Structures are given as C-alpha cells and as structure tokens.
Amino acid sequence: MTSTSTPPTPVNDFSFDALTDLFQIAKPIIGTVHALPLPGAPRYRGESMAEIVARAVEDAQAYAGGGVDGLIVENAGDIPFRNPRHLGPDTVAGLTAVAMAVRGAVDVPIGIICVAHGVVESIAIAKAVDARFVRANQWVNAYVANEGFIEGSAAEALRFRSAIRGEDIRVFADVHVKHGSHAIVGDRSIAELTYDTEAFDADVLIATGTRTGDPTRLAEVHEIKDVASLRVLVGSGLDDSNASELLSLADGAIVGSAMKHEGVWWKPVDPVRVAAIMTAVERLR
C-alpha cells in the first residue's frame, strides 16, 4: 500500500537568518543588563523593585545611547544561582518586572536569560514582555555546574514555546557553555556539539569563554564556524582590543563586563567603554 503521509519537517530552515532578521545590521552587539539581586535571592537586602528597576533602566539607556544594537536582561545578582528545577515564582516575577521596564525604556530588541539555565522561565518572561529572544546555556547534552547536574533544555523548552504560541521568540544557544565541567561530553568534539545544537532547532549559536568576562577562545569560534550553518555570536570577553580578531570570524557578540566601569560586571555601564567598543565594531561593519 502506498503511503500518503506528509514527509517529516526538516530539523531547521537554515536559509532563515535569525540574527539579521532581529537586528538588521552586520555584527550586532548585544549589551547585558545585569539586574541587581531580586527578592528571594540571598544577596537581596530589601531594596524596592522601583530601585532595582531604575538601575536596570539606567544601564539599558546607557547601552542604547552608546549605539549598542540589542540588550539581554539577566538576573545576574541572584548568586548563588538555583538549579533550574528549583527556580521559583519570586525570580520569574522579579525578572519580568525588570525586563518590562527595560523593554519600555529603549528602542532596541531585547532578550532574556533567567539563570541558572531557566530556559522555560526565560521563554515565559519573553512572551510576557514582548522580548525577541532568549539565551539557553545548555540546549542539548548535559554538564556539571555550580548548581549541580544541568541537562539540555531543548525538548521541554520548544514544547512550552509552542504551547504559548511563542515561535517568534528566537533561541540563542551556547555550544560549549561556560561555568561548568564538560566531563560528561568530554569524548565529543566541539563540531559534534555544534551539530547537536543545530539539530535541536536553535536559531543562533554562541561561542563563549570559561567564565563571565573571560575572552572567548578564537580556536573555539573557528571550531564552531567551520561546521555551523547558523550564525555564531561571541558570548563572553569581547572588548575594544580583541573585537577585530574575534569579529573577523564571529557574526556578532554579547558583551557585559567590558562595557562596565572598571570592567566589573556588577558595576554600572560605562559610556566611555561602550563608545570604545562600538567604535572598534563600526570599523568592521
């Protein structure tokens, strides 16, 4: 009997360029808004949400005023971070309030990352505030981090995104995530991890360093770019001194520490540092 079933949908439409669709510019630079500790976090000291929001908005406006092309909002002050299984309503509510204010204060695309590794929570927040993308630190496979055993989130996150009709929320996924041990997948190459990340329907790939602020290895960018069909961002450590080298290969970058006063991620955005990096980037566009 001849089958009349519909052929399976391809795993990804690699002809679609999510990065260009979002930012409409070559080599986009995405600034990181590191939120102060939110209610419920160990370092929270009773500040009002108005104070927390005001700091995030100030940073967002400093980034946008310096020519940054997009922003990603992160609950960076919530150290030590919970394992994603234990993320609670306090974190989601607080980060939603911050992201909503940032979204209303600037006219650039924004994204969400709910750490540690709350990809479903990030998608929920993105839907609520009309953010355009989320960052997923561990999209496929697994690793061991300070928060414990972290599994790939793609299967559940994509089902949740579909359920809330959030298919327009793009997934920026780390290929070889920082802040963790990769012994579990130590027998697999960066190329294989790249194939896996694309096969599980990420929209943009991220090459990153070993921890916040550390420069991304050029060799890692090479390894990913050599086999990738998707765009590749540098996810850590880009500054005005290495922008030319890293962006000769990468298609853009997420920047945080290098645009802060003294290069320290928890300090306010430094307009002078923003200008220096954006000037270096403009020469490459």
Report how far residue 17's alpha carbon sits from residue 245's, in angstroms, rounded to the nearest whole number.
23
Whole-number pLDDT of residue 144: 83
Q: What is the pTM of this model?
A: 0.91
CB contact set of 119 (below 8 Å; sequence gap of 6+) = 84, 134, 136, 139, 153, 156, 157, 171
pLDDT higher than 90, residue 180: no
| Domain parsing of the chain, residue ranges | 31-282
Phi-psi region of 92 (alpha: psi -120 to 50; beta: other; left: phi over 0): alpha
CB 269 within 8 A of CB 257: no
pLDDT band at 208 (very low <50, low <70, confident <90, very high): confident
Least confident of 10-14, 265-269, 274-278: 10-14
Report how far residue 182's alpha carbon sits from residue 44's, in angstroms, rounded to the nearest whole number.
31
Class of domain 31-282: alpha beta
Whole-number pLDDT of residue 272: 97
Report how far residue 40's alpha carbon sits from residue 234's, in angstroms, rounded to the nearest whole number.
31
Whole-number pLDDT of residue 244: 93
- Model confidence pLDDT, tens digit, residues 269-285: 999 999 999 999 999 99
Whole-number pLDDT of residue 222: 93
Strands 142-145 and 180-181: antiparallel
Whole-number pLDDT of residue 3: 41
Least confident of 76-90, 212-226, 253-267: 212-226
- Model confidence pLDDT, tens digit, residues 113-169: 999 989 999 999 999 999 999 999 989 988 888 887 888 999 999 999 999 999 999
- Model confidence pLDDT, tens digit, residues 31-52: 999 999 999 999 999 999 999 9
pLDDT higher than 60, residue 4: no
Q: Which residue has the higher pLDDT, 129 or 13?
A: 129
The mean predicted confidence, pLDDT, of the chain is 90
- Model confidence pLDDT, tens digit, residues 58-108: 999 999 999 999 999 999 999 999 998 999 999 999 999 999 999 999 999
Report how far residue 48's alpha carbon sits from residue 246's, in angstroms, rounded to the nearest whole number.
40
